[in-house]
Amino acid sequence: MTYCVGIRLNAGLVFLSDSRTNAGVDHISTFRKMLIYERSGDRFMVLLTAGNLSIAQTIREALQTEELTDGDATEPLTIWNVRSMFDAARVLGQTVRRMHQREGESLRRAGLDFNVSLIFGGQVAGEPPRLFNVYSAGNFIEATAETPFFQIGEFKYGKPVLDRLLRPETPLAEATKCALVSMDSTMKSNLSVGPPLDLVVYETDRLSSERVACIDMANPYYRMVHESWGQRLREAFDSLPDPVWDGEQTDTPLRVNCGSRKPLPKITDPGEKLL
């Protein structure tokens, strides 16, 4: 399994991925799930992958040369000549579909699903940064102001903090911190997600990025996030008052009662029937 997150903000983009793959509890390997496609001053794109590792690696390589014939276009479209990230996502979608046509049947005969999911984002000169979630059928959706991030892999543990904190106007530094907290929460709850982590932070209109990092557990900033987040959660939890039941004497105004609802039915006799 894996966990990857991509975030689209007014200020730019943040990408974070782990690098652990599992084929059982005693077979853990490290493979990178992130790849950067860059032509400085013209385009900057990042691809994150989850699912079947062999499919994902083949798609990453094939995307560099994939061509999409499009109606009135004078030449086939590739990720290196498209004029929008939408068209780049279309090229990626076609790459996924062609891979399915080529490998899908043999995988099915081997009892395996064609399982891959991707986050693809970046910026082409002349338009703002964009972010897409591409599915195994080659179709995709785009991040919006209401939903400014995508996750793939083991996403459930790291989603709450993203839902609560991310907005389009969130600064890149805060979004990076949020992504790392999301990853740390995931690694805390799921052993199939693990370091080292790959991080890319892209600033709008730069069309290149020097904010690229590989983070292991010894990284001082990540260690601070890991230790402080758990401690601050405990402090916030402890600051909440305990529930108080009806009939208990306390100065706390917060009480637990049924309100206008009827109490839950209770069976006290083994022969009693619940109506």
For the segment 33-68, what is each residue's pLDDT rounded down to a tens digit? 899 999 999 999 999 999 888 889 899 988 988 888
Please report which confidence band the pLDDT of residue 24 belongs to, taking 50, 70 and 90 as the band edges. low
Contact (Cβ atoms closer than 8 angstroms) between residue 122 and residue 157: no
Within a domain: 264: no
- Segment among 30-39, 104-113, 139-148, 205-214 with least mean pLDDT: 104-113
How far, in whole angstroms, is CA 146 from its chain's centroid? 16
Q: What integer pLDDT is reported at residue 51 of this predicted model?
A: 85
Each residue of 158-179: pLDDT tens digit?
999 999 999 999 999 999 999 9
Residue 120 pairs in a beta bridge with 47, 132
Question: How many angstroms separate the CA atoms of 152 and 48, rounded?
Answer: 9
Within a domain: 237: no
CATH of the domain at 202: 3.60.20.10
- Residue 203 reports pLDDT greater than 90: yes
Count how many domains the chain has.
1
pTM value? 0.86
Q: What integer pLDDT is reported at residue 23 of this predicted model?
A: 47
- Residue 180 reports pLDDT greater than 60: yes
Within a domain: 252: no
Q: What integer pLDDT is reported at residue 71 of this predicted model?
A: 66
Query: Which 3 state secondary structure label does DSSP give 193?
Result: coil
For residue 196, whether the previous peptide bond is cis, meaning omega lies within 30 degrees of 0, is: yes
Q: What residue numbers bound the domain in which 63 lies?
A: 3-217
Within a domain: 250: no
Query: Which 3 state secondary structure label does DSSP give 90?
Result: helix
Within a domain: 133: yes
